[in-house]
Structure 1
Amino acid sequence: METQNIWNNFSDELYFFILKKVKNKEVTNDVFQNTFLKIHTNLPKLKKEEKVKAWVFQIARNEIYNHFNKESSDATKLDAIKDIDLQQYEQICCFDNFINDLPEIYKQVIELIYLQGKKQKDVAQALDISLENVKARVKRAKGILKNKFNQCCKFELDKNGKLIGESNCAICKV
């Protein structure tokens, strides 16, 4: 059995199998490519040619698992980065005050998304509002927060969107 024969016999079915599992064309292409790379590399280890289909699909399942396992690991790293960012903002004098002063509809979405780390679509479902409404509230809340930081604390956003400057506000000196 050669890789070309496996390609001719199973490539379409295998591609759609992967697509059904990962539900993303770009990821499917990566997993599909990795699967065929492993098939080609490990083809000499195949002992029974009559079991080639099961073998090919098992390699695909393993690659799908590897993708989701890596994605989960990346999410853990992202959570650690979010914790670091939150710690940096906690050092800013008025951060909590400004969030607490937001109107309740804006405060809710900011807390759920940025402080609890929930996805916008999950917040929309939890609050029983549309995703577009969540996005609009986030945008308005960010505008309000930005204005408060500019007026009170003299903080600004750098080119990367991070707060820079020094605390210079009456609230902190109270």
Structure 2
Amino acid sequence: METQKVWHNFNEELFFFILKKVKNESATNDIFQNTFLKIHKKLHQLENDEKVRAWIFQIARNEIANYFNKESVYLPSVNLQNETALEKYQSICCFDKFVYELPDIYKKIIELIYIKGLKQKEAAEILEISLTNVKARTRRAKDILKQKFNECCKYEFDKDGKLIGESNCSICKS
């Protein structure tokens, strides 16, 4: 596989994946460029061309993590309980706020599986709990988050219990 073929097949999808995670176009451009630079430099190490998509998205996730690790050095800690801090950081998505407010046992599961992109089995190993426990905590955390989205942002549920509709949130105005 060649870098040009990877670019042709994945550039748009990868760009929007990064943008969704970072929510900043300038930072997305930097991360996107760094990601493709690493892809180009290390493409010869890819042993199975069928796994190229997973491989490039893992590189992107690592670059996103590097970006946030660098940024966290310069950002003051945010106390979301403080009303003035909430006004100051209104651009922070409700999702981040809701995850922050989860009890630790649920917050860790969400961070490992949905933010870091680990498999449930890997999360179970890291947390030293059973896979069944991971699944139960994930389900409970998602239920808590759905309830918060429904109460705060006025989302509704479809027949399968998934959130639908547009946000009508008085906090984030999104």
Q: TM-score range by the shorter chain?
A: 0.3 to 0.5
**What TM-score, normalized to structure 1?**
0.47
